[in-house]
Homo-oligomer: A and B are copies of this chain.
């Protein structure tokens, strides 16, 4: 029931790359009710990989290993496994035929670096669903070891198509593990802790987790049990209770992102949105359009970085810019109404601010941001002060702006500013 994840590569221990694979694998396993006890990243180093592999075989029921299966010289996982587990490398004939036929389609010939992809430790089984990408799997002292490529798209493809179905069919007698996630915006961790302490809770065996995830805060509720319906019912009860206490800040649950919540809200009300971004530079549009089907409600926008573009595209009056500045209630209101009218949308959302590090003044320090919303002839605007580096200020602004749309659609008040 307990597994480990091992990710191999100097790019991880040197901090050059983020370990996206272990996150993906851990989440897939948890969602299936399997617990990951440890995630270890080691460099492309014979002794270290051997040590970590042998320990994992002793401690776990299954092990997911990623990385080092590619065609370059630093891809040494297969050789390490061969030596560590005393299983010499052998050429997998079906695999070599597959590579050759793929190359023939492209009018190319076999190369030694590609042949390497077909060499696997003796007694292991190639994982190659649909012929798209490959890893291998072997059993050692009753423990299943899955070796997958480090390229995230290939790794997740193999996890989904082969590894998860195999692991689930093998460890079917699992106790149930279910987790709920509530996502909050606009409240900090210590305020959450205080509210939680005051909560009149009969939470039983539910395990709570609190995770700051800038600019969000997440609360998790995890429960184990033998019977899925009992576990789900108990979690429903607890979640309802927690929701009551944190309702004003709660914007999503599960894996849902703010942009999906906003998109679903706009779709439900059949409303269209347009945006005028200054300090966020396009980030709000980028996030909104990450949602498939967003073209149904998102009509477009303007990245009005210069004053001229605010005048030309949004019809902000030069007098407003002159008198109140680009970062002001007046300007953000005209931006919002301008984009709404020009693009013929139901809603016009605008942001303008000072992302820094330069451009701050005593009255308008770095982090000063105005958000505006035009809905029909109504215009709302609010001043905020955000903290941190340029990217933090951009991210916080995009989040607050999207939260405005969410709250407007729900009929809730906006979070107050400064």
Contact = CB atoms under 8 A, between A and B. Distances in A.
A281 B288 contact: yes
Nearest to A279: B289
Contact of A16 (B218, B294, B306): B218
A161 interface: no
A130 to B, nearest CB: 15
Contacts of A74: 208-210
Interface in A22-54: 22-30, 35-45, 48, 52
A139 interface: no
A280 B290 contact: no
Contacts of A27: 14-16
A305 interface: yes
Contact of A39 (B12, B275, B289): B12
A308 B299 contact: yes
Given A302-B303, A342-B313, A390-B292, A73 B39 contact: no
26 contacts: A11-B211, A13-B35, A14-B27, A14-B179, A15-B25, A16-B220, A17-B23, A71-B190, A113-B190, A113-B193, A151-B214, A153-B392, A281-B282, A281-B294, A282-B283, A282-B289, A285-B285, A285-B286, A285-B305, A286-B394, A290-B391, A299-B306, A300-B306, A301-B302, A303-B303, A313-B313
Interface of A: 9-20, 22-30, 35-45, 48, 52, 70-74, 111-114, 150-153, 179, 181, 189-190, 192-194, 196-197, 208-214, 218, 220, 222, 275, 277, 279-290, 292-295, 298-306, 308-309, 312-313, 342-344, 355-359, 388, 390-392, 394
Given A14-B36, A38-B41, A71-B193, 12 more contacts: A11-B209, A15-B22, A74-B208, A277-B285, A279-B289, A280-B286, A282-B284, A282-B288, A285-B303, A299-B308, A301-B302, A301-B303
